[in-house]
């Protein structure tokens, strides 16, 4: 693995927390993600199911975790099923986890080969009353015709055990995963630290005439060199007017002298993620107008991030952020204060220049699971990312940090990433 092995105590603790919330005499089943096909005989890079990883630390395909805390036999209260390797698999794909290695990673003592799953489950299923099954339940989940491993497991269980009760494992994991443990925070801090070096490398490399994807290459080189698993998501490297498209990521335009670049990127380290956005001038010097817009967004970030504290509610926080941005748009001369006073409250004028939310949970997923009706609590990690996009001027600016909610406010995990204009210009011109 690319990252230092995470102590199994974390996953033992996570499983204990999960099983404490299960109904009596119930079984929970979590499966790994599929290896997705690309073209011909090629496949996409494997990405583990995050609930399975959260509960086991297993980062390998074709794995299943079964939890049955009320099982009559103690050895059946936690069972991990992994793919049995062979000399042929080793030749073509390399080493896979042995039973001993799977135990060392997960702390699950009873490790079996995957082919033993169905018979093992059958021995226990009719003693249980309820199944908790895993599924991807994020509100922005993209549906597809292809059934996932989770879909197939649900179909299998309901066909074979139709008279059992069925519950959603995700309702428990989304509650648990919102509060990060000290171990998880350390991993997220590592991801954030790697992102700092990657950003500084880009600042030193950029010059007029470069293509956006050349900056993406500099970014990716540094984060992989420092041990990151991958980019947390496809980076946005948007120069000039491209920055006004929120999810622009073709990254194929020329970075022109006088333009500003918006770079939204994240680092995935040990499956935990960072998510940051910075803006910088292609030629190393912000123009007067770029400074005005940049400082307006920076003001919103500094003031808005203070609202990320225990007890705050997402909906009210977002309203306060919108007020901050609206005030800055008036100061920039983009909005007319008299028209703002007369605006339709259901169609606020700021929406033309600021059209997205500013705080999302982050962790094993970049947009991590959890309910936004739940007030913020110590241990949650959220982004703060205000932005202003003035398409008619070809300027788009967004600034984003990652904040750990603490008992007394919050801690900026990305505090070391340059953000002040003077600091950015100094790095670019040394």
User: Does residue 86 have a pLDDT over 90?
Assistant: no
Q: If we measure between CA atoms, which residue out of 91, 105, 5 comes closest to residue 52?
A: 105
Per-residue burial over 157-172, b if 16 or more Cβ lie within 10 Å, else e, is beeebeebeebebbeb
Euclidean distance between CA atoms 123 and 67, whole angstroms = 14
Sign of the four-CA dihedral 221, 223, 226, 232: negative
Q: Tell me the pLDDT of the chain averaged across its residues.
A: 96
**Mean pLDDT to the nearest integer, 74-89:** 94
Predicted confidence at residue 79, as pLDDT, reads 98
Euclidean distance between CA atoms 317 and 298, whole angstroms = 17
**Mean pLDDT to the nearest integer, 38-67:** 92
What domains appear along the chain, each with residue ranges and CATH number? 9-177 (3.40.350.10), 182-428 (3.90.230.10)
pLDDT tens digits, residue range 323-356?
Answer: 999 999 999 999 999 999 999 999 999 999 999 9
**Mean pLDDT to the nearest integer, 156-175:** 97
For helices 421-428 and 182-205, give the axis angle rounded to 10 degrees.
Answer: 60
Predicted confidence at residue 350, as pLDDT, reads 98
Per the CB < 8 A criterion, the answer to whether 111 and 98 are in contact is: no
Predicted confidence at residue 143, as pLDDT, reads 55
Structure tokens at 41: 């005989």
User: Does residue 244 have a pLDDT over 80?
Assistant: yes
* 3-state SS assignment for residue 3: coil
User: Does residue 154 have a pLDDT over 90?
Assistant: yes
Please report which confidence band the pLDDT of residue 144 belongs to, taking 50, 70 and 90 as the band edges: low
- Alpha carbon of 225 to those of 192, 230, 231, 275, 277: distances in Å? 14, 10, 12, 18, 21
Predicted confidence at residue 191, as pLDDT, reads 98
Predicted confidence at residue 2, as pLDDT, reads 87
Provide, rounded to the nearest whole percent, the portion of the chain with pLDDT above 70: 98
How deeply is 57 buried, as exposed, middle or buried, from its count of CB atoms within 10 A (0-12, 13-18, 19+)? buried
Structure tokens at 172: 């428990």
Q: Which residues pair with 409 in a beta bridge?
A: 406
Sign of the four-CA dihedral 355, 267, 278, 313: positive
* 3-state SS assignment for residue 176: helix
Predicted confidence at residue 145, as pLDDT, reads 61
Per the CB < 8 A criterion, the answer to whether 384 and 308 are in contact is: yes
* 3-state SS assignment for residue 412: strand
Is the pTM value of this prediction over 0.85?
Answer: yes
Please report which confidence band the pLDDT of residue 136 belongs to, taking 50, 70 and 90 as the band edges: confident
Beta-carbon count within 10 A of 392 CB: 10
Length of the chain: 430
Structure tokens at 188: 């997220």
pLDDT tens digits, residue range 222-231?
Answer: 999 999 999 9
- Alpha carbon of 139 to those of 48, 143, 229: distances in Å? 19, 11, 26
User: Does residue 40 have a pLDDT over 80?
Assistant: no
Predicted confidence at residue 93, as pLDDT, reads 86
DSSP strands (E only) in 146-256: 165-168, 230-231, 236-239
pLDDT tens digits, residue range 309-327?
Answer: 999 999 999 999 999 999 9
Please report which confidence band the pLDDT of residue 414 belongs to, taking 50, 70 and 90 as the band edges: very high
DSSP codes of every residue in 329-372: HHHTTSS-HHHHHTS-TTS-GGGGT--S----B-SSSSS----T
pLDDT tens digits, residue range 278-307?
Answer: 999 999 999 999 999 999 999 999 999 999
Predicted confidence at residue 330, as pLDDT, reads 98
Predicted confidence at residue 134, as pLDDT, reads 93
The mean-pLDDT minimum among 76-90, 143-157, 173-187, 194-208 falls in 143-157
Structure tokens at 343: 């605006």
Per the CB < 8 A criterion, the answer to whether 325 and 388 are in contact is: yes
Q: If we measure between CA atoms, which residue out of 82, 107, 106 comes closest to residue 96?
A: 82
Provide, rounded to the nearest whole percent, the portion of the chain with pLDDT above 90: 90
Sheet holding 267-269, edge to edge: 230-231, 267-269, 272-273
**Mean pLDDT to the nearest integer, 84-88:** 89
Per the CB < 8 A criterion, the answer to whether 387 and 287 are in contact is: no
Predicted confidence at residue 43, as pLDDT, reads 81
**Mean pLDDT to the nearest integer, 46-64:** 96
Please report which confidence band the pLDDT of residue 139 belongs to, taking 50, 70 and 90 as the band edges: confident
Sign of the four-CA dihedral 251, 420, 296, 378: positive
Q: If we measure between CA atoms, which residue out of 236, 332, 242, 239 comes closest to residue 281?
A: 239
pLDDT tens digits, residue range 358-402?
Answer: 999 999 999 999 999 999 999 999 999 999 999 999 999 999 999
């Amino acid at each position: 693995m690319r990252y230092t092995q995470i102590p199994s105590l974390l996953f033992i603790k996570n499983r204990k927390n999960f099983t404490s919330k299960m109904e009596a005499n119930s079984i929970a089943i979590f499966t790994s993600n599929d290896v997705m096909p690309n073209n011909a005989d090629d496949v996409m890079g494997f990405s583990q199911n995050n609930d399975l990883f959260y509960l086991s630390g297993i980062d390998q395909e074709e794995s299943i975790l079964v939890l049955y805390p009320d099982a009559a036999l103690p050895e059946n209260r936690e069972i991990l099923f992994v793919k049995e390797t062979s000399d042929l698999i080793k030749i073509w794909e390399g080493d896979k986890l042995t039973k001993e290695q799977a135990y060392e990673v997960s702390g699950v003592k009873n490790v079996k080969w995957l082919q033993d799953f169905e018979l093992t489950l059958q021995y226990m299923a009719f003693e249980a009353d309820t199944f908790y099954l895993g599924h991807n339940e994020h509100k922005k989940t993209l549906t597809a015709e292809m059934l996932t491993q989770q879909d197939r497991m649900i179909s299998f269980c309901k066909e074979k055990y139709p008279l059992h009760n069925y519950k959603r494992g995700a309702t428990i994991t989304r509650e648990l995963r919102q509060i990060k443990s000290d171990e998880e925070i350390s991993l997220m801090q590592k991801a954030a630290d790697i992102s700092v070096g990657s950003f500084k490398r880009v600042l030193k490399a950029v010059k007029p005439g470069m293509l956006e994807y050349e900056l993406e290459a500099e970014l990716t080189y540094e984060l992989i060199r420092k041990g990151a698993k991958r980019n947390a998501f496809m980076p946005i490297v948007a120069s000039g007017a491209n920055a006004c498209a929120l999810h622009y990521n073709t990254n194929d335009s020329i970075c022109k002298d006088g333009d500003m670049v918006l770079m939204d990127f994240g680092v995935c380290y040990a499956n935990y993620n960072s998510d940051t956005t910075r803006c910088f001038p292609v030629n190393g010097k912000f123009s007067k107008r770029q400074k005005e817009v940049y400082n307006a967004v920076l003001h919103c970030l500094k003031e808005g991030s203070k609202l990320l504290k225990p007890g705050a509610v997402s909906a009210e926080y977002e309203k306060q952020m919108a007020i901050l941005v609206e005030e800055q748009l008036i100061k920039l001369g983009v909005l007319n204060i008299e028209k703002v006073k007369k605006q339709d409250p259901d169609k606020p004028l700021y929406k033309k220049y600021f059209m997205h939310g500013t705080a999302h949970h982050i962790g094993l997923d970049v947009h991590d699971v959890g309910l936004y009706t739940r007030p913020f609590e110590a241990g949650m990690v959220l982004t703060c990312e205000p932005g202003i996009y003035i398409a008619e001027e070809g300027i788009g600016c967004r600034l984003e940090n990652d904040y750990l909610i603490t008992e007394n406010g919050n801690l900026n995990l990305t505090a070391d990433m340059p953000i002040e204009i003077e600091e950015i210009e100094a790095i670019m011109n040394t």
